[in-house]
Amino acid sequence: MDWQATRPGETSAPLPDRQDAHLVFIGRLRTPFATRDQCPRQGDIDDGPVCRVEIDPLWQAATAGITAFEHLDLLYWMHQARRDLVTQTPRGGEPLGTFALRSPVRPNPIALSRVRLLGIDDGALLVRGLDCLDGTPLLDVKPHRRSPLQQS
């Protein structure tokens, strides 16, 4: 199937020639999911597979103190998603605008997953709750809540 073909209820828009931002990937996400069909619709922080957040060596010092947090927000770049759909038809549903969906298909394929931090292994964060393809580029890591140490 042609990846640019639209399904019933989908419309696309031409992508602009210009680029507005410069992003730096800070690592890669390692998951057991090789295809989009294998990815869960949303990650499960309680029962999903353990995944690795591999931080590039340049940025590993930025994880100092991160084990004080139970949950992290990971921002990543869905590098294999198409970027031109304006409307989409979710499985078994009616056509909706892309911004009304959590689909990976969007003009800027930036994703956010809240994960449970399980520990650190050889510079990589071990987490539960990811729902992306193996090798997905990582944009940022943010603690979800203040640590108990910071609240006192």
Question: 14 in a domain, yes or no?
Answer: no
Mean pLDDT of 94-123: 92
Question: 6 in a domain, yes or no?
Answer: no
Q: Does the pLDDT value for residue 148 go beyond 90?
A: no
CA distance 42 to 107: 20
Question: 11 in a domain, yes or no?
Answer: no
CATH label of the domain that carries residue 86: 2.40.30.70
Q: Which amino acid is at 108?
A: N
Q: For residue 2, give every residue at least 6 positions away whose Cβ sits within 8 Å of its Cβ, in sequence order, or none.
A: none
Question: 65 in a domain, yes or no?
Answer: yes
Average pLDDT, rounded, for the chain: 88
Quote the number of domains for the chain.
Answer: 1
Question: 31 in a domain, yes or no?
Answer: yes
Domain that holds residue 96: 23-145
Residue in the block written with tokens 């990582």: 138
Check residue 1 and give its pLDDT. 46
- End-to-end alpha-carbon separation of the chain, Å? 56
Q: 3-7, 52-56, 64-68, 146-150: lowest mean pLDDT where?
A: 146-150
Q: Given the DSSP bridges, would you call strands 124-128 and 11-12 parallel, antiparallel or unpaired? A: unpaired
Mean pLDDT of 90-113: 89
Question: 124 in a domain, yes or no?
Answer: yes
CA distance 114 to 43: 8
Question: 150 in a domain, yes or no?
Answer: no
